[in-house]
């Protein structure tokens, strides 16, 4: 499943990751314990909330400006990151152009690392990726945070984390999401799915807030802004899941809550056959409603960001919300009809996003 959020739009035409070096890594965790749904919910939400609190606390700390000082190398590294972002996330890239040079370059560096991480399990070499390869990638992440980059892309991120209050945990959690993609093809309930969505997409919001910056006039708590950023990642990933039901089914994967499917009387065979029944439509309406609830929650935090950083976030939010609209327009056939937002609608969303960014409120229209 392609990870969702502002940093996943299409798959690259070429692999950005050099072959991993072999090493002996720690044993892989085998998944969520078999406990009740209520207990899992407490476990999942509390676990994520702890990360939110820790990341929010980092914002109050002044980071030393360390790392690579070879400005020619860094400029080339950031330019390469910008090129990748421009090619594979065009709408978001245009939004970043309103940000200050320093902030947009940092966002590009985060984008590229997230994209490369996602490629490990969804890219052209995905069939060769093992848990040990992910262990190697995590060790490489440790080196980035310690100022020992492996290549140009790593150098850009290493410089970024030396300048902003970026904690390593969201990055490690994203890699954990990739481990889940190697192991799990079903999720028993929404509580399990929520944790997965946090790993592969909610983490992006936590990575981005320190770079985006919180407006000086904001009266919201830092925790509230981080929680809204998390909600946007969850909303985007849920939207990805609903859009890609048919594609994932053809790969033998179902990212929909198993207990909710059972309650709706929908079998796996019906999903694999792409049967758009009345019960499927009712089921999809409920799934779309949940995703929109997370988008609503995310809107509360966008206005709290620095003005120059709001546009790309609004552009992403509006674009992904439109995917849900297209699923409805396709009469909930997400098996054979891909919910695609055309270029016209994408570019039309830019001035709307800009209007919201300038007004600094989710109540612009």
Tens digit of each residue's pLDDT (9 = 90 or more) over 171-190: 999 999 999 999 999 999 99
More confident residue, 207 or 125: 207
How confident is residue 151, by pLDDT bands cut at 50, 70 and 90? very high
Mean pLDDT computed over every residue of the chain: 83
Q: Give the whole-angstrom CA distance, residue 10 versus residue 2.
A: 9
Evaluate if residue 46 carries a pLDDT over 80.
Answer: no
Residue 167 lies in a domain: yes
Q: Judge contact between 165 and 61, C-beta under 8 A.
A: yes
264 found inside a domain: yes
Instruction: Determine, yes or no, domain membership for 198.
Output: yes
DSSP 8-state class, residue 38: H
Q: First and final CA of the chain: distance in angstroms?
A: 33
Residues of the chain above pLDDT 70, percent: 82
Would residue 18 count as lying in a domain? Answer: no
Residue 263, judged by CB atoms within 10 A of its CB (0-12, 13-18, 19+), counts as exposed
Spatial distance between the Cα atoms of 59 and 247, rounded to a whole number of angstroms = 39
CA dist., res. 218 & res. 101, Å (int): 23
Higher per-residue pLDDT: 248 or 300: 248
- CA torsion angle 364 232 47 214 (round to 10): -50
Is 2 domain-assigned?
A: no
pLDDT in tens, 194-246: 999 999 999 999 999 999 999 989 999 999 999 999 999 999 999 999 999 99
* pLDDT > 90? residue 281: yes
Number of domains in the chain: 1
What pLDDT was estimated at residue 238? 97
Percent of the chain residues topping a pLDDT of 90: 61
Q: Within a domain: residue 187? A: yes
Report pLDDT for 87: 93
What is residue 137's predicted lDDT score, i.e. its pLDDT? 96
What is the C-alpha to C-alpha distance for residues 346 and 166, in angstroms, rounded to an integer? 30
CA distance 31 to 122: 20
Q: Which of 113-117, 140-144, 340-344, 353-357 has the lowest mean pLDDT?
A: 353-357
The strand pairing partners of 214, in sequence order, are: 305
**Residue with the two structure tokens 């030393």:** 64
pTM over 0.85? The answer is: no
CATH of the domain at 333: 1.10.600.10
Assess whether pLDDT exceeds 60 at residue 141.
yes
pLDDT band at 1 (very low <50, low <70, confident <90, very high): low
Give the count of beta carbons closer than 10 Å to the beta carbon of residue 344: 8
Question: 52-68 pLDDT, tens per residue?
Answer: 777 777 765 655 555 55
Residue 90 is part of which domain span? Answer: 44-55+68-359
* 103: Cβ contacts below 8 Å, ≥ 6 apart: 211, 212, 213, 308, 309
**Of 106-110, 118-122, 242-246, 271-275, which gets the smallest average pLDDT?**
118-122
Closest CA to 274 of 298, 254, 246: 246
pLDDT reported for residue 98: 82
Report whether 54 contacts 167 (CB < 8 A): yes
38 in a domain, yes or no?
A: no
Checking if the pLDDT of 338 tops 60, the result is yes
In a domain, 241, yes or no: yes
Query: Would you give the distance in Å from CA 354 to the centre of its chain?
Result: 22
Checking if the pLDDT of 28 tops 60, the result is no
Backbone φ and ψ for 142, nearest 5 degrees, come out as -55, -40
């Amino acid at each position: 499943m392609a990870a969702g959020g502002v940093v996943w739009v299409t798959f690259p035409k070429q692999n950005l990751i050099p072959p991993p070096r072999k090493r002996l890594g720690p044993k892989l965790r085998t998944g969520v314990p078999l406990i009740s749904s209520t207990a899992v919910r407490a476990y999942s939400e509390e676990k994520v909330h702890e990360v939110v609190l820790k990341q929010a606390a980092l914002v109050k700390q002044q980071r030393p400006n360390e790392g690579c000082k070879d400005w020619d190398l860094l400029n080339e590294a950031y330019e390469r990151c910008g090129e990748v972002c421009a090619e594979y996330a065009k709408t978001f890239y245009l939004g970043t152009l309103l940000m200050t040079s320093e902030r947009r370059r940092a966002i590009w560096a985060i984008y590229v690392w997230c994209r490369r991480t996602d490629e490990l399990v969804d890219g052209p070499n995905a069939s060769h990726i093992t848990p040990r390869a992910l262990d190697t990638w995590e060790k490489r992440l440790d080196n980035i945070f310690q100022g020992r980059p492996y290549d140009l892309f790593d150098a850009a991120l290493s410089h970024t984390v030396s300048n902003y209050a970026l904690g390593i945990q969201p990055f490690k959690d994203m890699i954990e999401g990739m481990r889940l993609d190697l192991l799990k093809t079903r999720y028993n309930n929404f509580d399990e799915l929520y944790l997965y969505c946090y790993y592969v997409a909610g983490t992006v919001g936590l990575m981005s807030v320190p770079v985006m910056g919180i407006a000086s006039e904001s009266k919201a708590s830092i925790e509230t802004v981080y929680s809204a950023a998390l909600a946007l990642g969850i909303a985007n990933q849920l939207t990805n899941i609903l859009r890609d039901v048919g594609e994932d089914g053809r790969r033998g994967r179902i990212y929909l809550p198993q207990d909710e499917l059972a309650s709706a009387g929908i079998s796996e065979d019906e999903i694999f056959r792409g049967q758009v029944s009345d019960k499927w439509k009712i089921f999809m309406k409920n799934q779309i409603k949940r995703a929109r609830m997370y988008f609503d929650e995310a809107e509360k935090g966008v206005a709290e960001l620095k003005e120059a950083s709001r546009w790309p976030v609004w552009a992403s939010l509006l674009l992904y919300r439109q995917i849900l609209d297209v699923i409805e327009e396709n009469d909930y056939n997400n098996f054979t009809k891909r919910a695609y937002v055309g270029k016209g609608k994408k570019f039309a969303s830019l001035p709307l996003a800009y209007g919201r960014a300038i007004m600094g409120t989710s109540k612009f229209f």
